[in-house]
Structure 1
Amino acid sequence: MNRIVYDTEYYAVEEHDGKEIAVIDHMPESAAVVVIHEGCLLMVRQHREAVSASTWELPGGTIRHDEDKVTAVQRELAEETGVLCNELTYMGEAYPAASLTNRKVHFYYTDDIKRAAEPEPDDGEDVAAIWVPLREACHTIKEGGQVDQMVGHGLFLSMLHGLLLTDTSR
């Protein structure tokens, strides 16, 4: 039997048969984008209480009920980094923590940025954007740095789709 033990506007925590806990996201879909420009990957640094540290992540965030995936990823990219893009390529979706939550992430790719403006993060969001050389980003992932798993997944999808052909092994 499932029992809701905590509920907010954004998510609920459910207990399943007294054995497992699941976080049920009321807006379960999000989008992330791999942005490549001049051999660099656009990343954002955000403090995450769950790990008591700042992590490097792909730009992205929640898809609101009143918007489509492309609109959401463009909005999040502009809010977090100030970068605007022309074309986006859809690469697929994944459940990054299926054992814990129903959150689904849609992955996009672009190397077609048109301009940068001032970021406009959500209230209370402390985020910093930085262009990281692709090899450095891959090295940090390989060495186990404070990088969100979706960065690796997004880069892997980019390679599988033939969008990222750079040798990042060195």
Structure 2
Amino acid sequence: MGEQHLHSKPELDEVTLSTQPVFDGKIISLQVDTVRLPDGNTATREVVKHPGAVAVLALNNNKMLVVEQYRQPMQRTEVEIPAGKLDKGEDPLVAAGRELQEETGFHSGDLKLLKSFYTSPGFADEIIHLYVTTNAQPGDMSLDEDEFLEVSELTLEEAYQYMADGRIADAKTMMAVYAWHLYTLTGQWN
């Protein structure tokens, strides 16, 4: 994923004519692209550029490790699987292990890529690489200086209840719960 026109249909492609940088922040940047549409007309596209991220569905004794932290855009706390952005040039597998350890204190030598997906392809290029491990081992946390969170473990039933209650409302964690549920039914991480 991430390659331009990976499964593109040329008759639907837009051609970028120009790019105007608007904002360059610590994590994201924003640009406005002028594009030529398939019918020859032009339009503008606001695009958020993101370095990509990793997330980990980590199971310990058949319970999913989650962190609860405040999310400024939502103005509330959110229960999520451990996750974080990729550092420049960082291998996603390495980042997944790092984020799992930093946020939960757990570690695993058998992280497996479950799926990579785009979060909001209508306006952002952020891709999340979702990893899974069924063999998370406890250790020591090492949070970033601006991270404040609580770690807990949920059964599959509790995870579904958290989703019903709105305590889990982000796509990566919901996808992880559904993948875990499918695994319990099939024995496969597909």
Task: Give me the whole-angstrom Cα distance separating, in 2, the residues matched to 1:78 and 1:154.
Answer: 18
Q: Which runs of 5+ in 2 are unaligned?
A: 1-17, 35-42
Alpha-carbon offset, residue 8 of structure 1: 2.4
- 1:60-86 deviation line (CA, Å, top 9, x unaligned): 211222431111100000000000112
Say which structure, 1 or 2, has more relative contact order (CA 8 Å, 6+ apart): 1
Aligned mates of 1:92, 1:146 — CA distance in 2: 20
- The letter for the 2-side match of 1:109 is V
Give the residue type in structure 2 aligned to 1:73. A
- Within 5 Å, give how 1:2-21 maps onto structure 2: 2-17=19-34, 20-21=45-46
Cα separation, 2, equivalents of 1:164 and 1:34? 14
Query: For 1:127 and 1:21, how far apart are their aligned partners in 2?
Result: 32
Counterpart for residue 184 of structure 2: 164
1:12-48 CA-to-partner distances (Å, cap 9, x unmatched) read 11234585432112x2x21111112223211011111
Contact 1:109 1:158 in 2 (8 A): no
Larger radius of gyration: 2
Map residues 85-104 of structure 1 onto 2, 5 A cutoff: 85-104=108-127
| CA–CA separation in structure 2 for the residues paired with 1:125 and 1:159 | 29
TM-score (norm 2): 0.75
Partner Cα separation in structure 1 for residue 112 and residue 181 of structure 2: 13
Q: Which residue of the other structure, out of 144, 149, 171, is the alignment partner of 1:127?
A: 149
Q: Is the 8 A contact 2:78 2:168 kept in 1?
A: yes
In the alignment of these two chains, the number of paired residues is 161
1:24 has 2:49 as partner: yes
Deviations 1:88-112 (A, max 9, x none): 1211111112223111001111111
2-structure distance, mates of 1:16, 1:59? 33
1:136 aligns with 2:151: no
In structure 1, the partner of 2:61 is 38
Partners of 2:80 and 2:168 within 8 A in 1: no
1:153 aligns with 2:178: no
Gaps of 5+ in 1: none
Secondary structure of the corresponding residue to residue 101 of structure 1? coil
Deviations 1:133-159 (A, max 9, x none): 221111221343343221111223345
Alpha-carbon distance between aligned partners in 2 of 1:76 and 1:147, rounded to the nearest angstrom: 20
TM-score using structure 1 length: 0.83
> Of 93, 104, 122, which residue of structure 2 is paired with 1:81?
104
Matching residue of 2:9: none
- Aligned-residue Cα RMSD (Å) equals 2.1
